[in-house]
Structure 1
Amino acid sequence: MGASSIDVERELTPFSGVVRTVVLVGRKGNGKSATGNSILGAKAFKSRQSLDGVTGTCELERTVTSNGQIINVIDTPGLLDSSVESDFIGKEIARCIDLAKDGIHAVLVVLSVRTRFTKEEEAAILSLQTLFGSKIIDYMIVVFTGGDELEENEETLEGYLGGDNCPEPLKNILNLCRNRRVVFNNKTNDKNKKAVQVRELLSLVNMVIAQNGGQPYTDEQFTELKRQRLSHQKEVESLEGKSNMEIPELKENMERSYDDKLKRITEMVELKLTQTTTRLQQQLAEEQAARLKVEKNLEIAKIKTEELDKKKADKSRTCAIL
């Protein structure tokens, strides 16, 4: 799509040339692409769904803010959807890492105020630690979409999250994120509202960077892929001076070698994901079994109480007759 701009002005400020890379994750229907477009200030991302309901592939778009800050936005397909196969997720994680190149400055977990947050969704978000590494939690920011609905109901995000409206699993996620959250109205045409919510988000992104010592998130997968990319670039540069007959074959061999390395990283992610999925499924099954046991015990206690009450009532009637 090329670069877009939140503001045409390109003033030289301390942020001029600073790059921030954010990754959007969330379940289908929560508004990832719309949120990405709000950040970019342009309709760069489109929801292109395949026959099996999975949105295309990871995409990167870029914008430059009025103070010269460069924002890379990576939209990801259904990484938190339980229906998506692990091999697809593995490939997309590898692609996401490849697009991020020098690391991720923030992971934007997109949730919707229109849907209730569940224990299963909490487990899916926690699986990000497997997909990207354990420290990724330190880079997470929760973005709530559906700000238009809150406005229509004259409600604030604080009010929405307050009291009994905020389920325990969501409280757990917000606590992990140190309560870093922002609400987005992706439907508004008010330019001022658009600018305010983007500024608030970028302020949180810069806070995340500061809290992590000024460094973006990387792990062994990033390091390995970056090393392989640099090696690949050097190999491409070494083609200079080779004969025209040698170049096609050498290029083909280099591409195959690079693809093999990407495949190994993909397989590593897949293995981690499979192990975590199995563990989470077992955990959820145990929790469900525990809930059913509690419910059964309550039902038994209720029946016993009703039987006892009936006996007392029968005894009272008998005494009254006598």
Structure 2
Amino acid sequence: MSGIMDLGDTQHLSELRIMLMGYKTVGKSSTGNTILGREEFDLKRSAQCVRRHGEVADRHITVIEAPGWWKCYAVEDSPEILKQEILLSVSLCPPGPHVVLLIIPVNIKFKESERKAVQGHLDLLGERVWSHTIVLFTCGDYLDTSIERHIESEGQDLQWLVDKCGNRYHVLNNRNRSDDTQIKELLEKIEETVAQNNGCHFEIDRNILQEVEERKRAEEERAEERMERMQERRENIRSQMSDTQHLSELRIVLMGYKTVGKSSAGNTILGREEFDLKRSAQCVRRHGEVADRHITVIEAPGWWKCYAVEMSPEILKQEILLSVSLCPPGPHVVLLIIRVNIKFKESERKSVQGYLDLLGERVWSHTIVLFTCGDYLDTSIEQHIESEGQDLQWLVDKCGNRYHVLNNRNRSDDTQIKELLEKIEETVAQNNGCHFEIDRKILQEVEERKRAEEERAEERMKRMQERRENIRSQMMRGVGKFDTWSVGSSAYGSFGSHSGASSRSDSPFSSVDGSNLQKGSKSMGLPSPYMSGDERSDTMSVGSCAESEEDSS
């Protein structure tokens, strides 16, 4: 076997090429540093592959860290550029990696959603990758039992994964790098994996790799063209505007699906915590002074990510329509928020299109696509747009190729807000200095319908409260003192008269034998003064039900 050094009774490879894979925050960078014995990998997240080298235990080690996916997101939900990077990672250590270390932390439950995500992202590399994969369990300092006991106790999803990798696994404690035995044993297991594969490294199908590389080059070219078109358009607009001219007031509406980051974007624009990050079913309006401008920001409630407009409650659609009336005479711009770290699919495109179309066709000429989670973007936004495919490209083009990237985690960078405000002003200039204004008839119809619904809602609530009060008053009579029962008194009075006793007495029972009265009361379904409390309650519950049935009829 080429590259093998003879060290007495043992043999080992003089070179090892290792690829690290796993979801975000799983500890790939820390693992790479532990393997190489020094801080080679930056612990911040990266959307691109990172390659590092080192000499470890008489071996030249190359470690490739592939970008991670979201923990429970299926491969279909990952951005295209992430999937491309995972595929291209194997080409960064030619002719290919000896092993893929699939990193799983032992201190977090491994569920079916994680298993499906892991399976989907590794399957991008083809079925053969599984015979070159070792499950590397990190956070070994949390493990108080054997790793085998942990695997068996976790259930079928983790067991399936370990079995899929040929029962190859290892535990690593990244907090104890002084223990070089754990790395020595890991390298031995990697060499055993190579031996199991007849001394061969993993090599992806060359046709797949070539296709990805060609697609990436084409996307980069289109991204360059898109950026040039955007810059040319901005320059043309700016040339028609005064160098010092800017609007003293800007009115902004934020739109997008739930959890997309509308509140965070509003806070970033205003430079302080004005919007509550919890979800709201109603529009929220906030104000602030930013870059010598008075800014009004309206956050419209969000819809469910993949739900078509027809599936949303009417009250949500009303709020979206009314959002543009909260900053009269109308917003200068609608910022349509899209996350860059999640795949934008056809279902999202149809959903976005449906909700914006509620406002009428003219809204598109006043809309900018605002990409959030910019901290996950290690490439140009143009390349992201081109790699995502026709649905995102359609959306950006529908908005006149107007887009901006926002990093809500870096609010100290005021240049991103300054540029956003400039783009908003350019959008206003494109619209001949006009704001967006919804058709007044549509708005009036919605407002009238909302008022009518509120009135009917008030009436319904009153009916419900009256019904409850009536029932409660009947229940109170049922558990009150005996002399409140006028019906019972009449019945008992008649009963007493029938027995030949005078009914003139204050008590209708004054001249009635107690045992006879109790029998008579029971036969009439009425409570007897000689019944126990439980007996009287049971009797009256029947009477109350009867009254309720009569009322309902």
* TM-score bracket for this pair, using the shorter chain length: 0.5 to 0.7
Distance in 1, matches of 2:108 and 2:200, equals 34
Q: CA deviation at 1:173?
A: 0.7
Letter in 1 for 2:198: G
Letter in 1 for 2:183: V
Say which of 128, 148, 152 aligns to 1:135: 128
Q: Which residue number in structure 2 is paired with residue 64 of structure 1? A: 55
Q: Which residue number in structure 2 is paired with residue 74 of structure 1? A: 64
Letter in 2 for 1:39: I
Letter in 2 for 1:157: I
Say which of 16, 20, 29 aligns to 1:20: 16
Q: Which residue number in structure 2 is paired with residue 318 of structure 1? A: none
Letter in 2 for 1:27: Y
Say which of 148, 152, 168 aligns to 1:180: 168
Is the Cα contact below 8 Å between 2:21 and 2:100 reproduced in 1? yes
Q: Secondary structure, in 3 states, of the residue corresponding to 2:43? A: coil
**In terms of mean alpha carbon deviation, does 57-66 or 209-218 score higher?**
57-66
Sort the Cα spacing of 1:171 and 1:65 in 2 relative to 1 into closer, same or farther, 3 A.
same
Distance in 1, matches of 2:44 and 2:155, equals 32
Distance in 1, matches of 2:158 and 2:218, equals 34
Q: CA deviation at 1:148?
A: 1.1
Letter in 1 for 2:17: T
Letter in 2 for 1:171: Q
Q: CA deviation at 1:223?
A: 8.4
Distance in 1, matches of 2:11 and 2:219, equals 34
Q: Which residue number in structure 2 is paired with residue 197 of structure 1? A: 182
Q: Which residue number in structure 2 is paired with residue 160 of structure 1? A: 150
Is the Cα contact below 8 Å between 2:69 and 2:78 reproduced in 1? no
Q: CA deviation at 1:98?
A: 2.7
Sort the Cα spacing of 1:108 and 1:259 in 2 relative to 1 into closer, same or farther, 3 A.
closer
Say which of 215, 232, 241 aligns to 2:200: 215
Sort the Cα spacing of 1:130 and 1:47 in 2 relative to 1 into closer, same or farther, 3 A.
same
Letter in 2 for 1:209: V
Sort the Cα spacing of 1:219 and 1:161 in 2 relative to 1 into closer, same or farther, 3 A.
closer
Q: Deviations over 1:129-153 (max 9, x none)?
A: 4311111000110111111122xxx
* TM value normalised by structure 2: 0.35
Indicate the structure whose relative CO is greater, using CA pairs within 8 Å and at least 6 residues apart: 1
Say which of 35, 46, 63 aligns to 2:42: 46
Q: Which residue number in structure 1 is paired with residue 29 of structure 2? A: 33
Q: Which residue number in structure 2 is paired with residue 147 of structure 1? A: 140
Letter in 1 for 2:37: G
Distance in 2, matches of 1:56 and 1:216, equals 25
Q: Secondary structure, in 3 states, of the residue corresponding to 2:26? A: coil
Q: CA deviation at 1:27?
A: 1.3
How much identity, in percent, do the aligned residues show? Answer: 26
Distance in 2, matches of 1:155 and 1:175, equals 20
Q: CA deviation at 1:70?
A: 1.3
Is the Cα contact below 8 Å between 2:138 and 2:171 reproduced in 1? yes
Distance in 1, matches of 2:198 and 2:131, equals 11
Say which of 96, 120, 129 aligns to 2:89: 96
Distance in 1, matches of 2:218 and 2:190, equals 31
> Greater Rg, structure 1 or structure 2?
2
Sort the Cα spacing of 1:222 and 1:34 in 2 relative to 1 into closer, same or farther, 3 A.
farther
Is the Cα contact below 8 Å between 2:106 and 2:137 reproduced in 1? yes
Distance in 2, matches of 1:259 and 1:212, equals 27
Letter in 1 for 2:111: T
Distance in 2, matches of 1:170 and 1:80, equals 18
Q: Secondary structure, in 3 states, of the residue corresponding to 2:124? A: helix
* TM value normalised by structure 1: 0.59
Sort the Cα spacing of 1:91 and 1:183 in 2 relative to 1 into closer, same or farther, 3 A.
same
Sort the Cα spacing of 1:17 and 1:167 in 2 relative to 1 into closer, same or farther, 3 A.
closer
Sort the Cα spacing of 1:199 and 1:16 in 2 relative to 1 into closer, same or farther, 3 A.
closer
Letter in 1 for 2:62: N
Distance in 1, matches of 2:129 and 2:13, equals 25
Distance in 2, matches of 1:123 and 1:20, equals 29
Q: Which residue number in structure 2 is paired with residue 310 of structure 1? A: none
Sort the Cα spacing of 1:224 and 1:124 in 2 relative to 1 into closer, same or farther, 3 A.
closer
Is the Cα contact below 8 Å between 1:101 and 1:222 reproduced in 2? no
Q: CA deviation at 1:72?
A: 0.8
Distance in 2, matches of 1:29 and 1:71, equals 23
Q: Which residue number in structure 2 is paired with residue 320 of structure 1? A: none
1:278-293 equivalence runs, <5 A: none
Q: Secondary structure, in 3 states, of the residue corresponding to 2:142? A: helix
Q: CA deviation at 1:205?
A: 0.8
Sort the Cα spacing of 1:218 and 1:264 in 2 relative to 1 into closer, same or farther, 3 A.
farther
Q: CA deviation at 1:22?
A: 1.1
Q: Which residue number in structure 1 is paired with residue 476 of structure 2? A: none
Q: Which residue number in structure 1 is paired with residue 115 of structure 2? A: 122
Q: Deviations over 1:211-240 (max 9, x none)?
A: 111110112238865xx9xxxxxxxxxxxx
Q: Deviations over 1:4-43 (max 9, x none)?
A: xxxxxxx985868722111111112221111111101011
Q: Secondary structure, in 3 states, of the residue corresponding to 1:175? A: helix
Q: Deviations over 1:181-234 (max 9, x none)?
A: 111110115x2x2x1111111111111111111110112238865xx9xxxxxx
Q: Secondary structure, in 3 states, of the residue corresponding to 1:216? A: coil
Aligned residues: 213
Is the Cα contact below 8 Å between 1:22 and 1:105 reproduced in 2? yes
Q: Deviations over 1:107-156 (max 9, x none)?
A: 11100111100111111222244311111000110111111122xxx433
Distance in 2, matches of 1:17 and 1:265, equals 39
